[in-house]
Amino acid sequence: MKLATVVLLIIAAFTTASAADLKDQIIAKEREELEALKSADYKKFADLIADDAIFLNPGGPGTKTQVVEQSSHFKLLDFSMDDIRFVPLTDNSGIVIYKLTQKGSAGGREFTSVVHASATWVQREGKWVSVFSQETPARAPRAGM
């Protein structure tokens, strides 16, 4: 085998391992953020969000301050992340996309919802933070999709 081929195989193996590690790290951070909500640890939840983060849901865009405040008014009881997909952006950032099924309570009433969620995570100064998050209510797939 030629030296150039061996070098390319080593680079490809390293790149694949790095992308897989990045994916695992970011998915773990997304789960950590949801677990913080589940345990009502709003400080930890806030610490996982960049100060300049933007959140988007059917109500429109929101800041970190707004989302942390709103989140403190409900309790996440259980959640599942399904159909997880990942897009690497750089060596220290990526987007996770998934279907989130969540059960919670707000105002003394329990609810269940299913949304398509995405989050962009970036490592800044050695710390992983979410800089963008979006939730879209899930609907039944349209015919032909």
Q: Is 8 exposed, middle or buried (0-12, 13-18, 19+ CB in 10 A)?
A: exposed
Task: Tell me whether residue 64 is in a domain.
Answer: yes
Closest C-alpha among 88, 89, 87, 85 to residue 97: 85
Task: Tell me whether residue 93 is in a domain.
Answer: yes
* Domain extent for 97: 3-137
> Which pLDDT does position 108 carry in this prediction?
87
Task: Tell me whether residue 14 is in a domain.
Answer: yes
> Which pLDDT does position 12 carry in this prediction?
45
For 5, the enclosing helix (H) or strand (E) is helix 3-38
Q: Find where tokens 């999709």 sit.
A: 145
Task: Tell me whether residue 32 is in a domain.
Answer: yes
CATH code at 125? 3.10.450.50
Three-state DSSP class for 43? helix
132 pLDDT band, cuts 50/70/90, is very high
Task: Tell me whether residue 143 is in a domain.
Answer: no
> Which pLDDT does position 139 carry in this prediction?
85
Task: Tell me whether residue 44 is in a domain.
Answer: yes
pLDDT in tens, 78-130: 999 999 999 999 999 999 999 999 999 988 899 999 999 999 999 999 999 99
Share of the chain above pLDDT 90, in %: 74
> Which pLDDT does position 6 carry in this prediction?
43
**Weakest mean pLDDT among 27-31, 34-38, 97-101, 104-108:** 104-108
